[in-house]
Structure 1
Amino acid sequence: MSQTIATPPTVRLDSDVIGKPVNRPEGPAKVSGAAKYAAEFGVTGSLWYGYVVSSPITKGKITKIHADEVLAIPGVQKIFSHENVPSLAWFDRSYKDEVAPGGSPFRPLHEPEIMFSQQPVALVVADTFELARYAASVLRIEYDVEEFNTDMEAVGAKSFDAPKGKTGFLPPPKPKGDMEAAYAEAPHKVTGKYTHEAQHHNPMEMFGTTIDWLGDGKKMKIYDKTQGSGNVQQYIAKVFGLSTKEARVISKFTGGGFGAGLRPQYQVFLAVLAALELEHSIRVVMNRSQMFSMGHRAHTVQDIRLAADDQGYLQAMEHKALAETSQFEDATETVVNWSGIMYNVPNSQFDYQLTRIDVNTPADMRAPGAATGNFAIESAIDELSYKAGVDPMDFRLLNYTYSDPVVDKPFSSKRLNDCYHEGAARFGWEQRNPEPRSMRDENGLLVGWGVAAGCWDASMQKAEAKASLAADGRLTVTSATNDQGAGTYVIMTQMAAQTLGLPMAQVTFELGDTEMPAAPIQGGSWTANSVGAAVQNACQELGKKLLKLAQKMDDSPLTGVDFEDAQFADGHIRANEDISRTVAIRDILAASGEAKIEADGKAGPNPINMLKYSMHSHNAAFVEVKVDEDLGTVHVTRVVNAVAAGRIMNPKTARSQILGGTVWGISMALMEEAYLNNDLGRYVNHNYAEYHVPVNADIHKIDVIFVEEEDDIASPIGVKGVGEIGMLGVAAAICNAVYHATGKRIRELPLTIDKLL
């Protein structure tokens, strides 16, 4: 187990640049086009292009590939398929170390069998992208078609228990008390089925890989769109039997991932495969339609039963979920557990099951599992509050818990009650008329106000960083972490500058290269606390070296000063007890004669704290909707999202994260649905035109509140993370507001016009 270095009292995280709304240093590069993404890097020599051929059938077998017809086209270099691939790569499908679900991890072009629609069946490589695309379009492939079933609810009776211990999946909480008896005896009850269809990530940047073939054995630079360069390197090295020196993976900028980039996608496999065989630089990029073939938020059906007494106290809770997975992998999500964490109920039971259907494996998608379970439980809680005659916010406060009922541990911190109060005050909740259909605006539109809460893990992962101070006083800090737009560049620069007391202009943070110190994939809201702590530790170790060098200077004013009694500020090291005893950091290096000074830092979860506490972020979302009862249209006109997520390193980038999560909550509630035609066995709206997401006209006023929260138990720097928490509560609050406006409960997402008319 890793050991986390404690924060010395001289590092004041609440002063100077930490906690300030500092601009992103990479911002100008992004808006000017100077920032390069995976499919934009140049290569050594010429570049060939690969284009993926996708299966038009859902289930069956390839019987013949007419490759010779296409290979005769001038400029077509190679067609890869199951017929010529197995000798090139190690296809141990039992390999479990990659970030993938349990079962048999999918290997492209491994066999002639087709297991899902749009499965990659060939890669055409040509001199130009246009030629590769054309050649792929005329490649004839013959299939034997088999019967398939993509209707999860139709085969639900054949479901099986979810496997335990797979990639972070937590088994449902153990039952407590006598749920059936308590439910039967309670005066106020709710029974409901809550459903959402599959949802797809759809980041702006499509998944792509550029391989720079360096011509030294099998040495390559692999520029990949990913949320973790180290994860891709591990995958490539294992599957193809390469060393880490041969497979260097670089990901400097990621144009959105939302969980889709947590596991290596098939284009990187195909690009490496082609580069190794052809010994040439290769680029492979998915098209938008193919982005619907590499994972999605699972179609899930949830059944909830809730009961309360006449005072509004919860007496019974049952939460069951049925989700889809593929025929070859066991994709699981922690869906029902959040209900047990959020509310203190004496009698409860939970269940989670999977159904195998003929689709590709679902994938993690922002707030995986929690976004699904939260929509259901927060909708049901709201409905029960009406039946009990208690204000929806007061009902939640009435059933508030200060400890985690699932694991019977205290929370490391929990200021959800302050989220309720501060959010309600900002929103004007006290002016709400509780009766459904009682509020209208000046144009006669029905007005509804709704509230819901959310909860997400505050977890840490092992991370490393390196700090290097040059003789000119410039500090460079590196870590192989990722930035998919969350603000990693700026908050790590802030952390480094603060720890060593340097101006931000003198600090550079670099990331996304497997030659840098190892870092976890960017997901789970753990980057800020994990990598941030490693950066702080690296800079502290560098600070210790600087202090020792300063004490070797002639007539050093810092002689006898311990590191814990020194402060780093304004480019100087000073003694706490007498700040006139000071030495400029630049002078220390000049006196030492060193060209640069370097230090490494590591961080990781505290195993003792993990045993003693339950660690989570929380939020409360307040929503106003306006509904045209003649047309059935719903507009979200106001949102207040109050968040308690520990120390906020940069309120500007953190606010952007919450804004993005809130927008996605609106999108989940009102728009997002991948329509799976069960007669065809494929998603039929696999494009931006028909898979609906919000545009500017759909988004109105969003107010973000960060509730002050101190939590040095969750992480040594007090950070919990904001990537996921901002999405939670929003979809349920919208549904609750629609009920308040119309008197109609909607339990199936998205909440479209037909469900209201």
Structure 2
Amino acid sequence: MTIHPSVGKPISRLEAKEKVTGAARYTGDYPVDGMLYGYIVNATITKGKILHIHADDILKLPGVVTVVSHENRLSLPWLDLKYADMDAPPGKVFKPLYDNEVKFNGQPVAMIVAETFEMARYAAFHLRIDYQAEEFRTNLGENVESARPPKVGLATSLKPPPPKDRGDFTTAFEHAAVKATGTFHHGTEHHNPIELFASTVVYEGDNKLTIYDKTQGTVNSQLYVANIFGLHYKDVRVISPYVGGAFGSGLRPQYQLFFAAMAALLLKRSIRVTLDRSQMFTFGHRPPTIQNTMFGATTDGLIIALGHEAVAETSQFEDYTEVVVNWSNMLYPAQNVHTDYKLVPLDVYSPLDMRAPGGSTGMHAIESTIDELAYKADIDPLELRYINYANTDVSVGRPYSSKELKECFAQGAERFGWHKRSPAPRSMRRGNRLVGYGMATGIWEAMTAPARAKAVLDKEGKLVVSSAITDIGTGTLTVMTQIAADEFGLPIDEVSFHYGDSKMPLAPIQGGSWTVSTIGSAIKLACKALKEKILKKARAIEGSPLGHATLDEVAFMNGRVTLIANPSAGVSLKDVIQKNQGRSIAATKLSVPNPLKLKKYSRAVHSAAFVEVEVDEELGVVNVTRAVTAVAAGTIINPKTARSQILGGMIWSISKALREETIPDHRYGKYVNPNLAEYHIPVHADIHDLDVIFVDEKDDIVNPLGAKGVGEIGLVGMPPAIANAIFHATGKRINSFPIHFESLM
């Protein structure tokens, strides 16, 4: 007997009331008696050396406690570490205050510590620093001749290099009857979550720290602080129950954590350090990338040649990489393939994973080139994708564990009304507005990582599960509670999920669309282990009707353990606790993906995006009037929170395709719009009719839940669909994101 009281139901977020009423405490909200405040000073040059910091002038100001810089920092044991956190790419991790060298514009070079935030900020703006500037390089387009292959490191398993070339691409492309090529430019983007990055470090004495940190990984921040400052892991506790957005910016510990922990240890006092909005543009970003595509097909649309090359930016000290070019052959089974990915080290901070890293960049080039190929072959773009459909990932020679992409095509096209499309560009209009239909495919890996979870039957007979995982606003608290409730057949209000604390069972960083599959699988195993313990004690109760029943022969539901063959015969969970002398019963389990099983299959979530745009014929202004995204992601634990994830990705798609960019001035090596006034993102008036379809998909291989992540998939297919719709409306193929209206006038 299987009980499903919660999984699959659109349950509203359990923490919603706390968030909308302001009761939820974020990192900068925790009150601490006698707390100091830090305000960081950033370098105003792009490359060079610090000659002198005029700290004496600042120390005379009332309320200023100290000026922390490379001249008076603690002696640190981490200086030879290459990897200080879980998400560090190959190279040498950036070390704040290591010496007087400036490696990038905005580098943190000092911090004012004061009794009030206002005085710390005032002093920071008045701190004078003498620099010796040096020549620098920040322009990717002007330095592509310096491109080289990435270095291999720990992250290679999660970000595999391009597969080896297959067949004879050059000959196949040369002889292809239909060809499509393109050069695609993607500029810099910054994450810009609403919650600013902050760290509140409570000094507990004896070099013990309790840290409230804005992070996507409590354990990661714990490891970072312990590694850097030579502390025992048990002496560093990181708490992060609420995160006001992150989108990848919290995967690596940001430098305010370093400064806050250092000041707390240096001064033996508690301190809070918060970055302002402009400082949020001084660490991590989606890297600018230049791509070239060369696709060739037969006259009937069969793709025989796939060429995809990319060159991206990285820093001088780390090789940040993305999976950009691998996706083409994962989707389209051409036998002649050439892919290449290179990096250009520049005088910038290391780029950082940003929602759908690499996928949202690469799929624009792939799916726009596929669209171009369809027009040149005079084949409907949807039909061309049917012609080149594959159930096998030919790039690695493995079948997919499941793939319902065809059903995504069918259901998405039907809901959208794709059949109403007039094929010729510029053939559809409403008044003075050109109307365009575009579609594209989306793909993202379905990953699972090792993690621990704990399940406890408490003294009241209620279930408590826990993990160190964070909830970055995706609904993790709600979904994990549903999974646990489902395992025990309990109502939601009798189950609690505790999270966001490094003292809880080990969890990885929250990212890559793997949280549900990773933590959910661990919870499922922990609950099973707990049920075995409970059943053993239930059988030992005098007169128990469970006799020698095995776990397969009983059901847990409504607070009881009953025989499946005779549901009226059973024992209540409260009786089990009473038998256990009123003590709780606990079980902790480690979930590890089966490498032998998973090695036989490629695992991915798929989508199909359909978009309608209107383009003002005179002004070139683009409006996305409606869109449909159909997603195949295995078991959908909570359709309501999952739909919110897809909608968020669709809104971001409009932003990526039409608005969002960080503008550099390479004369100075800095960004000129580090604020929310000039970093353009959509507002409510920009968003119209968005629809989401979840296609039924069963997968017994991907993980014990059969679930695939949906955090990224909403962002990979829709941006190229928008670009393709603009081409259909205007007849102009614009391959640079964002698409500016002047390009369409």
When normalised by structure 1's length, the TM-score is 0.97
- Point out 4+ residue stretches in structure 1 off by more than 3 angstroms: 95-98
Give 1:444 deviation, angstroms.
3.3
Matched residue SS, 2:567:
strand
When normalised by structure 2's length, the TM-score is 0.98
Instruction: State the partner residue of 1:226.
Output: 215
Give 1:666 deviation, angstroms.
1.0
1:479 to 441, 448, 467: 467
- Give identity over the alignment, percent: 50
Pairing 1:391–2:380 present: yes
2:226 to 223, 237, 244: 237
Alignment of 1:84-95 (within 5 A): 84-85=72-73, 87-88=75-76, 90-95=78-83
- Distance (Å, rounded) in 1 between the aligned partners of 2:229 and 2:698: 46
- Distance (Å, rounded) in 1 between the aligned partners of 2:362 and 2:342: 13
Instruction: State the partner residue of 2:244.
Output: 255
- Distance (Å, rounded) in 2 between the aligned partners of 1:95 and 1:722: 29
- Distance (Å, rounded) in 2 between the aligned partners of 1:162 and 1:470: 51
- Distance (Å, rounded) in 2 between the aligned partners of 1:646 and 1:325: 35
Alignment of 1:10-409 (within 5 A): 10-12=1-3, 15-43=4-32, 45-85=33-73, 87-88=75-76, 90-95=78-83, 98-167=86-155, 168-215=158-205, 217-409=206-398
2:411 to 422, 426, 432: 422
- Distance (Å, rounded) in 2 between the aligned partners of 1:721 and 1:606: 18
- Distance (Å, rounded) in 1 between the aligned partners of 2:256 and 2:686: 33
CA contact (8 A) 2:248 2:354 kept: yes
Pairing 1:451–2:439 present: yes
CA-based RMSD of the aligned residues comes to 1.1
1:530 to 512, 518, 530: 518
Give 1:472 deviation, angstroms.
1.5
- Distance (Å, rounded) in 2 between the aligned partners of 1:65 and 1:615: 53
Could you say if the C-alpha distance between residues 667 and 222 of structure 1 is closer, same or farther in structure 2, counting changes exceeding 3 Å? same
- Distance (Å, rounded) in 2 between the aligned partners of 1:544 and 1:494: 20
Matched residue SS, 1:368:
coil
CA deviations over 1:365-388 (Å, ceiling 9, x no partner): 011111110010000000000000
CA contact (8 A) 1:536 1:601 kept: no
Instruction: State the partner residue of 1:7.
Output: none
CA deviations over 1:443-467 (Å, ceiling 9, x no partner): 3311101000111111110111111
- Distance (Å, rounded) in 2 between the aligned partners of 1:698 and 1:117: 33
- Distance (Å, rounded) in 1 between the aligned partners of 2:466 and 2:286: 33
- Distance (Å, rounded) in 1 between the aligned partners of 2:687 and 2:129: 45
Give 1:16 deviation, angstroms.
1.6
- Distance (Å, rounded) in 1 between the aligned partners of 2:322 and 2:617: 37
CA deviations over 1:618-644 (Å, ceiling 9, x no partner): 000000001101010000011100000
Give 1:398 deviation, angstroms.
0.5
Give 1:11 deviation, angstroms.
4.4
Matched residue SS, 1:627:
strand
- Distance (Å, rounded) in 2 between the aligned partners of 1:413 and 1:234: 36
CA contact (8 A) 1:661 1:723 kept: yes
- Distance (Å, rounded) in 1 between the aligned partners of 2:566 and 2:463: 26
Matched residue SS, 2:606:
strand
- Distance (Å, rounded) in 2 between the aligned partners of 1:458 and 1:140: 50
Matched residue SS, 1:161:
coil
Give 1:70 deviation, angstroms.
0.2
- Distance (Å, rounded) in 1 between the aligned partners of 2:192 and 2:705: 33
CA contact (8 A) 2:85 2:221 kept: no
Could you say if the C-alpha distance between residues 260 and 97 of structure 1 is closer, same or farther in structure 2, counting changes exceeding 3 Å? closer
How many equivalent residue pairs?
743
Give 1:72 deviation, angstroms.
0.9
1:667 to 630, 633, 655: 655
- Distance (Å, rounded) in 2 between the aligned partners of 1:301 and 1:155: 12
- Distance (Å, rounded) in 2 between the aligned partners of 1:521 and 1:95: 15
- Distance (Å, rounded) in 2 between the aligned partners of 1:182 and 1:203: 46
CA contact (8 A) 2:5 2:485 kept: no
Pairing 1:699–2:687 present: yes
- Distance (Å, rounded) in 1 between the aligned partners of 2:575 and 2:338: 66
Give 1:195 deviation, angstroms.
0.7
Give 1:88 deviation, angstroms.
4.7
Instruction: State the partner residue of 2:493.
Output: 505
| Segment drifting more, 551-560 vs 335-344 | 551-560
- Distance (Å, rounded) in 2 between the aligned partners of 1:581 and 1:560: 13
1:628 to 594, 600, 616: 616
Unaligned 5+ runs, structure 2: none
2:646 to 646, 658, 668: 658
CA contact (8 A) 1:178 1:347 kept: yes
> What amino acid is aligned across from residue 257 of structure 2 in structure 1?
V
Give 1:336 deviation, angstroms.
0.2
CA contact (8 A) 2:432 2:617 kept: no
CA contact (8 A) 2:607 2:629 kept: yes
- Distance (Å, rounded) in 2 between the aligned partners of 1:508 and 1:729: 36
CA deviations over 1:656-681 (Å, ceiling 9, x no partner): 00011111111100011110111111
- Distance (Å, rounded) in 1 between the aligned partners of 2:733 and 2:161: 30
CA contact (8 A) 1:452 1:733 kept: yes
